[in-house]
Amino acid sequence: MIPLKDDTPRYSTPLITLFVIGANTLVFLYEASLGRRAETAFLQTFGLIPARLAASLNLLQPHLHTHVHAVSPSMALLPILTSMFLHGGWAHLIMNMWFLWVFGRNVEEALGHFPYLVFYLACGFVAALAQTFSDLTSTLPTVGASGAIAGIMGGYFVLYPRARVLMFVPFLFIFFLWFPAWAVLSYWFVLQFLSGVGTALVSPDAHAGGVAFWAHVGGFIAGCLLVRAFPSRVRRYRYEY
């Protein structure tokens, strides 16, 4: 199922949401312009590598893995930020940006532009840590904005549980249905959690790659908990498009 739009009115232009979408797109275009070898090196440098972060924070001894090189804590934390703007392909980018567009605009509306940006980055930070602690020895770079976007979805779940979301449902010739936001987001969260557990049970070696389910779980929980720490701003003008 894919969300298409919600029925919650907006009162301002979602400047930060548009900025984040633009920034992610520009970074991906640059990434795609690199040759295969250069792109791999780029992702290794700016993607989040759990084992490198764990070793740099003394959570993992570097000598336990021949491919792990500890760096200073500040340099180890930088990829948490940069990895939020990297993606593994067009489908990855488009799907992430679409979810951000559907759910992010109203969360930005509620929090205000700058607090929304802080909220977005904070959720991405927690999501990255959740993924890191799911496998401290993984040497694969974790990339994508989905952890931060999961936080946005968690914030939406708390702020607009009674909103309705139009979903594309390609099942039994039924393609478009409205669902309560709490049901859509609860279903998504449970699916991520069960997928994370299932992946760990079936293939406990996270070095095999795949979807960062625990980043989604951690980001969503962070969004639910952190959104109330930001005061809602007063709505003045209705803005629709």
Q: What is the pLDDT of residues 58-99, one digit of tens each?
A: 766 544 554 555 566 667 788 899 999 999 899 999 999 999
Does position 199 have pLDDT exceeding 60, yes or no?
A: yes
Q: How far is 107 from 219, CA to CA, in rounded Å?
A: 15
Say if 115 falls within a structural domain.
Answer: yes
Domains: count for the chain: 1
Say if 122 falls within a structural domain.
Answer: yes
Q: How far is 220 from 226, CA to CA, in rounded Å?
A: 10
Say if 143 falls within a structural domain.
Answer: yes
Say if 235 falls within a structural domain.
Answer: no
Say if 238 falls within a structural domain.
Answer: no
Does position 11 have pLDDT exceeding 50, yes or no?
A: yes
Q: How far is 51 from 45, CA to CA, in rounded Å?
A: 13
Per-residue pLDDT, 239: 47
Q: How far is 159 from 35, CA to CA, in rounded Å?
A: 43
Say if 205 falls within a structural domain.
Answer: yes
CATH number for 58: 1.20.1540.10
Say if 237 falls within a structural domain.
Answer: no
Containing domain of residue 159, as a range? Answer: 2-229
Does residue 20 contact residue 114 with C-beta atoms inside 8 Å? no
CB burial readout 39-56, b (16+ within 10 A) else e: eeebbeebbbbbbbbbbb
pTM of the model as a whole: 0.87
Q: How far is 127 from 70, CA to CA, in rounded Å?
A: 21
Q: What is the pLDDT of residues 126-173, one digit of tens each?
A: 999 999 888 888 888 889 999 999 999 999 999 999 999 999 988 767
Say if 241 falls within a structural domain.
Answer: no
Does residue 196 contact residue 219 with C-beta atoms inside 8 Å? no
